[in-house]
Amino acid sequence: MSAPRRTVAAPVEDLAALRPASESAGSAMGATTGTARGATAGTRRAGVASSFMASGLGIALFSSAVFGVSGSFAKALLETGWTPGAAVTGRLTGAALILAVPAIPALRGRWHQLKDNWLTILLFGVIGVAACQLFYFNAVARLSVGVALLLEYLAPVIIVLWLWAASRKRPRPLTIAGTLLSLGGLVLVLDLTGAVKIDLIGVLWGIAAAVCLAIYFFITAKENDTLPPIVLASGGLMVGAVVMWLAAATGLVPMSFGTADTRLGPWITPWWVALGGLVVLATVLAYVSGIVAARALGSKVASFVSLTEVLFAVIWAWLLLGELPGTIQLLGGLLIVGGVVLVRLDELRAAPLPAPLDHANDVEPVP
């Protein structure tokens, strides 16, 4: 899923400007030699950049793969008696404590940034983490993992429709085409005429997760660029964990844990294996690898690669839970993802110049 953008890597031009001026001084022969060397160095840098892009692509795919397994681990717990609230709370609490380890050194000497960005952290934790994930897990409890995630992926379409209604300004043709394509995909995903009936409550939970994600994007669209992404991730997870514990203490969210063994594919495992996978793989490693990938690829490219999360989620659910959406639903999923791609392509075409945030780090709402 997509997220607020954070710039942490200086552009190549800025790094070049930091070199001492004496490096560019010298005789004409030295300048000629320097030019030749510069060309060679430029070629080397291009090769390094290409390699970095390739490695960034691999890391981005890894991030999507581990993000995609969250629904399968969560459903394994839900099937043994855990409530969605308990699974969310366990995931957020464990991940927040682990990510606090690198987040604290990142804030050394600039703790004031927490005060300057408290509203962003609060909104990220409440909307992008706690609410979005709780709604998604409730959808997973009633629907297949793939269908639940596809419903959440309707967030960009909701944003387009809302802006259209609020501004009364018709979107560009490519955006309209993408929106219609995704809505058509939604009809197929619901498979209203199929033999297997879709749980309406589960669909509403999935759409609620999409609405929550859309609201989150609106809120963070104008946030500043001063807070390190690892700090935002850790802070948001902490806020989300506190919100979930408070909701449980007040009885707003049912909280039921269990110690029964879970089934993951052909294996029967202790409950802590699924919870550990949910915390370490699907949250900690997913966030860290996503940050590294966005630094290498830029936020726009990374956001496109993140669309593979749906594919990975379906594969994981098939391998670990034996779930596989029907042919019509898979076709609908392709249409939804295709529609989102068209909307994002239209955004790229409309952007006049690459912004500094193109090299930012994405911090995603937890799926």
Query: Residues 178, 150, 292, CA angle at the centre, nearest 5°?
Result: 90
pLDDT above 70 covers what percent of the chain? 77
Q: What is the pLDDT of residue 44?
A: 53
Q: Which range (141-145, 191-195, 351-355) has the least confidence? A: 351-355
Beta bridge partners of 361: 6
Residue 359: pLDDT over 60: no
Q: What is the pLDDT of residue 320?
A: 95
pTM of the model: 0.78
DSSP per-residue letters across 152-203: HTTHHHHHHHHHHHHH--PPPHHHHHHHHHHHHHHHHHHTTTSSSPPPHHHH
Q: What is the pLDDT of residue 29?
A: 40
User: Among residues 211, 194, 88, 61, which one has the least CA distance to residue 151?
Assistant: 211
pLDDT higher for 37 or 341? Answer: 341
Residue 4: pLDDT over 80: no
Residue 185: CA count within 13 A, CB half-sphere: 24
Which residues are CB-neighbours of 9 under 8 A, at least 6 positions away? 295, 359
Q: Which range (5-9, 275-279, 293-297) has the least confidence? A: 5-9
Buried/exposed 119-149: b ≥16 CB within 10 Å, e otherwise: ebbebbbbbbbbbbbbbbbbbbbbbbbbbbb
Tell me the C-alpha to C-alpha distance, in Å, between residue 213 and each of 130, 131, 260, 348. 11, 9, 32, 21
Helix (H) or strand (E) holding 311: helix 308-321
Q: What is the pLDDT of residue 340?
A: 87
Angle separating helix axes 286-297 and 84-106, nearest 10 degrees:
50
Q: What is the pLDDT of residue 326?
A: 82
Q: What is the mean pLDDT of residues 328-343?
A: 88
Residue 310: pLDDT over 80: yes
The tens digit of pLDDT for each residue in 143-194 reads: 989 899 999 988 888 988 888 888 888 888 888 998 899 889 888 888 766 6
Burial of 276 (0-12, 13-18, 19+ CB in 10 A): middle
Residue 15: pLDDT over 60: no
Give the ranges where 21-154 is alpha helix by DSSP (H).
28-68, 70-78, 84-106, 112-116, 118-123, 132-142, 145-152
Tell me the C-alpha to C-alpha distance, in Å, between residue 240 and each of 107, 258, 311, 312. 20, 21, 27, 25
Distance CA 143, CA 200 (A): 9
Q: Which amino acid is at 260?
A: A
Domain boundaries, the chain: 69-158+196-321+355-362
The tens digit of pLDDT for each residue in 71-117 reads: 999 999 999 999 999 999 999 999 999 999 999 998 888 888 888 88
Tell me the C-alpha to C-alpha distance, in Å, between residue 301 and each of 296, 307, 321. 10, 10, 31
Q: What is the pLDDT of residue 366?
A: 62
Distance CA 338, CA 354 (A): 24
Q: What is the pLDDT of residue 353?
A: 46
Q: Which range (234-243, 275-284, 317-326, 349-358) has the least confidence? A: 349-358
pLDDT higher for 193 or 249? Answer: 249
Q: What is the pLDDT of residue 221?
A: 65
Residue 172: CA count within 13 A, CB half-sphere: 11
Q: What is the pLDDT of residue 25?
A: 38
DSSP per-residue letters across 2-43: ---EEE-S--HHHHHHTS-GGGG---HHHHHHHHHHHHHHHH
Q: Give the confidence band of 12 by pLDDT, cuts at 50, 70, 90.
A: very low
Q: What is the pLDDT of residue 247?
A: 95
Q: What is the mean pLDDT of residues 187-209?
A: 83
Q: What is the mean pLDDT of residues 121-144?
A: 93
Buried/exposed 294-321: b ≥16 CB within 10 Å, e otherwise: bbbbbbbbbbbbbbbbbbbbbbbbbebb
Q: Among 45-49, 123-127, 349-353, name the most confident range.
A: 123-127
Q: What is the pLDDT of residue 134?
A: 96
Q: What is the mean pLDDT of the chain?
A: 80
pLDDT above 90 covers what percent of the chain? 41
